[in-house]
Amino acid sequence: MTSNRELRRATSLVAAREFRQRVRGKAFRVATVLVLLGVAAAIVIPKLANRHSSSPPQKVGVVGSLTSAQRSAVDRAAQDAGVRMSLQSFDNRTRAVSAVRAGRVDLVIDEATSVIVATTISRDDGSDTSDLAYGVAGALGTQAAITRARLSTAQISELYASHPVPIQALHHEHHSRPVNQAASTIGLIALFIMLSQYLTWTLVGVMEEKSSRVVEVLLATLRPVQLLTGKLIGIGLTVFLQAAMVAVVGLVLAGTVGSDVLHGASPLVLGSTLLWLFLGYAFLSWVYAAAGSLVERQDQVQSLAIPLVIPLVVGYVSALSAIGSGSASLFVKVLAYLPPTAPFAMPALVGLRAVTWWQFALSALITLVATVATARLAATVYRRAVLRTGGRVRLREVLGARAN
Amino acid sequence: MTATLQVDGLVRRFGKVHALDGLSFAVPAGELVGFLGPNGAGKTTTMRAVFGLTDLEAGVITWGSGPIDAAQRRRFGYMPEERGLYPAMPLAEQVEYFGRLHGMSAHDAHAATAKWIERLDLAQRADAKIEALSHGNQQRAQLAAALVHDPEFLILDEPLAGLDPGGIDAVMEVLRERVRAGCGVLLSSHQLDLVEDLCESVVIIDHGHLVVSGSVDELATSGPEQLRVRIDDVNDAAWARAIPGVTVLDAGGGAVRLQLDDSVDRNDVLRAAMSAGDVHEFGLVRRRLSEVFREATA
């Protein structure tokens, strides 16, 4: 009888060979560099763009004069908004309005009683002009109220030293927008690229072992499930080496440039994305390996790849759309419980804060159970199909049939 | 420790085709057995069955005292008809990998790899990828992968195909050496003359069952006796046709080949030949293995 130790030893030898060959390969190096460049670009470019866009100071016209208290209030408002500004005095309102219309100034403070802007603004449009206009309007309004109340200097100091009281929520409501859209988007794109790459390796790797006939020599020594498990573990280790490199480089880079990717829910998004990379690979790799055992030529691989990739694309596109729109549709919520699409949909729900921990755990459990069932079926298909040569083997031929 | 491989009553069908139909034979330790048969006779299916690569409807394969198991198979060496190595993996690394899969330690596999690639004249190409090797060298590499773990039993499907004469000599010498060391070898080939030179015995199968087996010597001398006779200045075989029980198989170039019924005394034939003229050559003809094969599978 072959001992379990010997079985594990042979499986680990297969995994080690697979890992070594993959990591040595040009495809791994090129793919890793491309993913790293993509992640670096996604982190650095928005930061550079923000820095560039915030650099010109807002030009603020002033009609009439500002008291020292009002001037201090306006300066504090600009500081709170993170906007630099330069003040420009106007003799009268008409000239100031003309300057706003002509774009020579961004906004005008009219006699410390109103703020004039060129077009309608909203609080959440994210522009420096909007942030500054709302900040200045609020500050001047507060300052006017203080003056009317005739507060003493001590009272005014006390007022400005105030802190907001804590907010206690009776019911937890999900936010409709992700805390960090960038982190979710970067995670999804990297997840899709990496899963697609390694699942293709699995499919083509099994096909190549079949077409090169080396599988017959290997199976004279190993059990099919050992060979298949070793292969999937080897490629899986390559996946996690690459994922670890991407995560480390991404985190270090984000920390270095001070990117928002590190803030808010991003560690949660990153963790769930890595977990679903693992769960997604664990489930889908068996499917791809079984499919690879049915074919022995590149053109046959291509005909199989299309139906195999459809669930991935549906999951990926739906998840990306949900992140982009800031809300999770019922469709995406359903996809989050289906093993082929959950690796994309569930991290998106995490990014949107549209999932509870038990829903997350339930989806992971469903995928794990499906993985065990799929692995058993895939091993049967592999054993029966991988030694059949001479053309593409139909799935219905091997299910219910004997081994070759 | 080597033992006898016994194949007993194997049955395997693929749809309506009987690939194996009650096939039985044995390969003793320390013997090189030629495994012959026309294409589709069931040779590859039999070899795969030994390694558990095909399911059987009936029959059993034993190694020593009991049915063969996975651990025993790992001590076998296998060279399938359709060669199989990783094309992009370096030769030495690949042979070493197969050694380790057969249970060798890293050190032993490394040493054995060095020994076998040297022995098979592949040392200069140790770091080359398999796909960069010539066809003949790929054959040698495949054999090295089958031999690296010092197997107790070898199953080789067409190991001599595609080799040049030097390669054939090298492989034959290695196989003889393994047999002398006590290893049993089951070798399939369509190169019957080489099998006749190399093997002590043969098993011929057709349509999934055994048709002939025995030692090469027994088979060469089995069946009706044949004589080759050359008489100076006599170019026809009229003298032989006059002898009852003698059939002329071949006549030309001054020599005739005769087949004698059991009732015919070869001394009577010699006397008739001497009566016809001066006898230059008179001798028994050993049947070639190819003749035995053709008769068995006709």
- Which residues from chain B sit within 8 angstroms of residue A214, using beta carbons? 84-86
Confidence band for A14, pLDDT divided at 50, 70 and 90: very high
Chain centroid, CA A53 distance in Å: 24
Q: Does residue B204 have a pLDDT over 80?
A: yes
Confidence band for A384, pLDDT divided at 50, 70 and 90: confident
Nearest-angstrom CA–CA distance, B292 and B298: 10
Of B53, B71, B89, the CB nearest to A216: B53
Does residue B155 or residue A127 have the better pLDDT?
A: B155
Q: Does residue B39 have a pLDDT over 70?
A: yes
A244-258, B29-43, B256-270: which range is least confident on average? Answer: A244-258
* Confidence (pLDDT) at A1: 47
pLDDT tens, residue by residue, B151-160: 999 999 988 8
* Structural tokens at position A388: 């059949």
Confidence band for A31, pLDDT divided at 50, 70 and 90: confident
- Which residues from chain A sit within 8 angstroms of residue B102, using beta carbons? 221
Of B74, B84, B89, the CB nearest to A217: B84
Mean per-residue pLDDT, B213-232: 87
* Confidence (pLDDT) at B96: 96
In contact, A344 and A337? CB cutoff 8 Å? no
pLDDT tens, residue by residue, A271-317: 898 899 999 999 999 999 999 999 888 888 888 888 899 999 999 99
- Which residues from chain B sit within 8 angstroms of residue A204, using beta carbons? none
Q: Angle at which helices A224-257 and A266-292 pack, to 10 degrees?
A: 150
Interchain CB contact of B89 with A (< 8 Å)? yes
For residue A402, the chain B residue with the least C-alpha distance is B55
Does residue A168 or residue A384 have the better pLDDT?
A: A384
C-alpha neighbours within 13 Å on the C-beta side of residue B251: 13
* Confidence (pLDDT) at A270: 82
**Highest mean pLDDT, choosing among A4-13, B173-182, B289-298:** B173-182
Confidence band for A6, pLDDT divided at 50, 70 and 90: confident
* Confidence (pLDDT) at B156: 94
* Confidence (pLDDT) at A129: 85
C-alpha neighbours within 13 Å on the C-beta side of residue B168: 14
* Confidence (pLDDT) at A265: 53
Residue with tokens 């190991």: B159
* Structural tokens at position B109: 């596999």
For residue B87, the chain A residue with the least C-alpha distance is A212
pLDDT tens, residue by residue, B148-193: 999 999 999 988 888 888 889 989 999 999 999 999 999 999 888 8
In contact, A380 and A372? CB cutoff 8 Å? no
Verify whether the Cβ–Cβ distance B55 to A219 is below 8 Å: no
3-state secondary structure string across chain A: CCCHHHHHHHHHHHHHHHHHHHHHCHHHHHHHHHHHHHHHHHHHHHHHHHHHHHCCCEEEEEECCCCHHHHHHHHHHHHHHCCCEEEEEECCHHHHHHHHHHCCCCEEEECCCEEEECCCCCCCCCCHHHHHHHHHHHHHHHHHHHHHHCCCHHHHHHHHCCCCCCCCCCCCCCCCCCCCHHHHHHHHHHHHHHHHHHHHHHHHHHHHHHHCCHHHHHHCCCCHHHHHHHHHHHHHHHHHHHHHHHHHHHHHHHHHHCCHHHCCCHHHHHHHHHHHHHHHHHHHHHHHHHHHCCCCCHHHHHHHHHHHHHHHHHHHHHHHHHHHHCCCCHHHHHHCCCCCCHHHHHHHHHHHCCCCHHHHHHHHHHHHHHHHHHHHHHHHHHHHHCCCCCCCCCHHHHCCCCCC
Q: Does residue B2 have a pLDDT over 90?
A: no
- Which residues from chain A sit within 8 angstroms of residue B76, using beta carbons? 220
Interchain CB contact of B293 with A (< 8 Å)? no
Confidence band for A178, pLDDT divided at 50, 70 and 90: very low
Radius of gyration of chain B (CA): 23
Nearest-angstrom CA–CA distance, A360 and A349: 9
List residues of chain A with CB under 8 Å from any CB of chain B.
1-2, 6, 10, 13-14, 17, 21, 208-209, 212-223, 387, 389, 402-404
* Confidence (pLDDT) at B51: 92
Mean per-residue pLDDT, B44-64: 92
**Average pLDDT score, chain A:** 84
Nearest-angstrom CA–CA distance, A261 and A184: 9
Interchain CB contact of B154 with A (< 8 Å)? no
Q: Does residue A352 have a pLDDT over 80?
A: yes
pLDDT tens, residue by residue, B94-116: 999 999 999 999 999 999 999 99
Interchain CB contact of B262 with A (< 8 Å)? no
What percent of chain A stands above pLDDT 90?
Answer: 29
- Cross-strand pairs, B227: B258, B284
Q: Does residue A218 have a pLDDT over 60?
A: yes
A252's CB contacts (< 8 A; 6+ apart) are none
For residue A11, the chain B residue with the least C-alpha distance is B101
Chain centroid, CA A49 distance in Å: 20
Q: Does residue B222 have a pLDDT over 50?
A: yes
Q: Does residue A176 have a pLDDT over 50?
A: no
Residue with tokens 């984000």: A254
Confidence band for A131, pLDDT divided at 50, 70 and 90: confident
Mean per-residue pLDDT, A12-19: 94
* Structural tokens at position B44: 């590859």
- Name the residue among A3, A226, A183, A169 with its Cα closest to residue B71: A3
* Confidence (pLDDT) at B184: 94
Verify whether the Cβ–Cβ distance A223 to B73 is below 8 Å: no
- Amino acid residing at A88: Q
Q: Does residue A257 have a pLDDT over 80?
A: no
Confidence band for B47, pLDDT divided at 50, 70 and 90: very high
* Confidence (pLDDT) at A306: 84
Mean per-residue pLDDT, B16-31: 92
C-alpha neighbours within 13 Å on the C-beta side of residue A331: 9
Nearest-angstrom CA–CA distance, B25 and B9: 9
Prediction pTM value: 0.75
Mean per-residue pLDDT, A92-107: 90
CB pairs under 8 A between A and B: 73
Minimal CA separation from B180 to chain A, in Å:
25
